[in-house]
A = this chain, B = another copy of it.
Amino acid sequence: MRDVALRAGVSTMTVSRVLSDPGKVSAEVRQRVMAAIEAAGYVPNRLAGSLSSRHSRVIGLIVPSLENSLFAPTIQGISEVLRRNGYQLMVADCGGSDAEEEALVTAFLAQRVAGLVLHNTRHTAAARAMIRRAGIPVVETGTLTPKPLDMVVSYSNHEASRAMTLHLHRLGYRRIGFVSLPAAGNNRALARQGGYRAALAEAGLPPEPRLMLEMPPGLPSGAEAVVRLAEGPVPADAIFFAGDVLAVGALFECQRRGWAVPGRVGIAAFDNIEILGQMVPPITTLRLPRAEIGRRAAEILLDRIQGRSAGPVRVDLGFEIIQRAST
């Protein structure tokens, strides 16, 4: 910048102003400075800028996994909004571990991020304390948690799960199986289990442990689950797969076995991944506002950072049942 200032015959302050608030500089000087910037091939140093101004334009995002394509639309949504506003995105994955999340929060705070997006809604006490001390805004996106750190943008996993279960009941199913990811340490899976149980109670169906399964993520898990529940001691007439791509794996297994869907067993999924609608038969599922969650999360974060809002924010973006031929 010193170089640019010399070339343009002005002080570094003037160069700085041309970059940050061109209106404050006379047109003639601005021209000269711009030319000097061009000639010098000058790229401003935001590290120095942030250090001096005590404001950074970087947002940190921590997701349980970067590999899982479920997070992709959310990340894209965040990225989109940040980019439009001249902000940068730092990402990391914590593999669902609270301790790892804490370490990543520390690393991000050390980078002096201006805000955080956390997909998880469980955090270590140390992580909470650090974030509070740092005084930066935080958005949680994983589920509409009742006691957020700060702000939440999501949908209710409990309500979505409950709604789908009631929907299946309304369709006439009476032995509704439920398959989720392992619930230990996963607030989203827990909420979904809760919603399923609540719906059974409302519908007057007795809870049946042999109709509930927890499986690791992946297509083979879904395949295994459909067999266990449809051929089990209490054969399910429909199965609600509340996690990942389990429903896809299940339908493939039915195709391999020649089982009619929904004749032999109905199948419902939890997420609107594109493939569900293309399968034969297309699978009943929930439409979740994945991309919208990302966009809104970024927006309210920026609102807060730029002083356009204050106080707690809780945005429920809802969900929608998509009834298709599989149930």
Given the complex, which residues of B lie within 8 Å of A79, measured CB to CB? 66, 91-93
Are the CB atoms of A248 and B219 closer together than 8 Å? Answer: no
Smallest CB–CB gap between A75 and chain B, Å?
A: 5
Given the complex, which residues of B lie within 8 Å of A124, measured CB to CB? none
Scoring A residues 238 to 270 as 1 if CB is less than 8 Å from chain B, else 0, what string do you get? 000000010011001001100000000000000
Q: How far is the CA of A111 from the CA of B43 in the complex (A)?
A: 9
Given the complex, which residues of B lie within 8 Å of A90, measured CB to CB? 58, 88-91
Q: How far is the CA of A219 from the CA of B276 in the complex (A)?
A: 11
Given the complex, which residues of B lie within 8 Å of A73, measured CB to CB? 67
User: A234 contacts the other chain (Cβ, under 8 Å)?
Assistant: no
Smallest CB–CB gap between A60 and chain B, Å?
A: 9
Given A89-B91, A110-B45, A252 and B279 contact (CB-CB distance below 8 Å): yes
User: A134 contacts the other chain (Cβ, under 8 Å)?
Assistant: yes
Given A51-B51, A76-B93, A90-B89, A46 and B280 contact (CB-CB distance below 8 Å): no
Scoring A residues 270 to 295 as 1 if CB is less than 8 Å from chain B, else 0, what string do you get? 00001100111000000000000000
User: A16 contacts the other chain (Cβ, under 8 Å)?
Assistant: no
Smallest CB–CB gap between A154 and chain B, Å?
A: 19
Are the CB atoms of A67 and B76 closer together than 8 Å? Answer: yes
Smallest CB–CB gap between A59 and chain B, Å?
A: 10
Smallest CB–CB gap between A101 and chain B, Å?
A: 12
List chain A positions with a Cβ less than 8 A from chain B: 41, 43-48, 50-51, 56, 58, 65-69, 72-73, 75-76, 79, 83, 88-93, 106-112, 129-130, 133-134, 218-220, 223, 245, 248-249, 252, 255-256, 274-275, 278-280
